[in-house]
Structure 1
Amino acid sequence: MPATTSPADLYRHSLQLLLDKDIPAWVGLWADDGVMEFPFAPPNWPERLEGREAIAAYMRDYPDHIDLHDFPDLRIHRTTDAGTIVVEMRGVGRMVETGGPFEMTYIAVVTVQDGRFTSYRDYWNPLAVHEPGMNFTASDAR
């Protein structure tokens, strides 16, 4: 994606890469020193990933655990900072190991600089991973 890409367009592109299970290309959208945070992470889950390499390691096996099918209800809100957006969305698919349904609601605060993600605070619901059929553990997230 060119450096002139808006944060909203970059984010939409990143979702398509996740649906395509192209994790290396998704990681390539990150700045070298990008930071991904999970403010509501349960115990023994990562709360903060610093740098593209840490984010790559975290996401590497994601498609082996969750088969994403769609991101319905996507809403991207601009902020007073042109490089920062707030995203509301739902991810749906299936859990690879069990075949059970996967559905997660997300709110994220995302900052983009020079066409790359520099900060991503993911306010996902950790209680949802304990719902029936959602056999997703902290080791799955790494």
Structure 2
Amino acid sequence: MTTIVNEENKINAENIFYKHLSMFTTGMSREDYANLFTEDAVQEYPYAPAPFSTKIEGRDAIASYIENVVKGATDWNFTDFEFSATSDPNVFFVEFNGSALVTSTGKTYDQIFIARITMNGDKISNFKEYWNPTWIIDAFV
């Protein structure tokens, strides 16, 4: 069975994703960030090295985790977004580049990200992000 991708769902997911990045770039409040997610949302980072978390459960825990990540660097910048729909109208992928200046080391963190975003209405229910762990260690350690 073929599922027709709903353009409205795709635009909604893109808008929510850009709001997600606002936590890094414009100082979005913790509460506003938490409200982007369902209560039982899960955020996953399968390649995260210790001491970084590989899985965070619940929107409040996600907001706390990201709040700490944001504090670890300044001058966050994200570019080159490429969104891809899937056969499931609630699941989208985005590939993008990001950079920041790491506060503790003074190093620049450059990364290529790929994220799978699962939506439940106008909220993120699962956010799974892939990135190169070597690059994060080089910048943050």
Q: TM-score, normalised by structure 2?
A: 0.82
| 1:85 partnered with 2:125 | no
How many residues are treated as equivalent by the alignment?
131
| 1:21 partnered with 2:27 | yes
Root-mean-square deviation (CA, aligned residues, Å) is 1.8
- Within 5 A, what are the aligned runs for 1:110-129? 110-129=117-136
- What fraction of aligned residue pairs are identical, expressed as a percent? 24
Partner of 1:135: 140
What's the offset of the Cα at 1:44?
Answer: 4.1
More helix by share: 2
| 1:9 partnered with 2:15 | yes
Structure 1 unaligned spans of 5+: 137-142
Q: Given the alignment, which residue of 57, 66, 81 partners 1:59?
A: 66
Q: Given the alignment, which residue of 108, 113, 116 partners 1:101?
A: 108
Structure 2 unaligned spans of 5+: 1-8
| Pair 1:96–1:38, CA change in 2 (3 A) | same
SS of residue paired to 2:42 = strand
| Pair 1:76–1:125, CA change in 2 (3 A) | same
Q: TM-score, normalised by structure 1?
A: 0.82
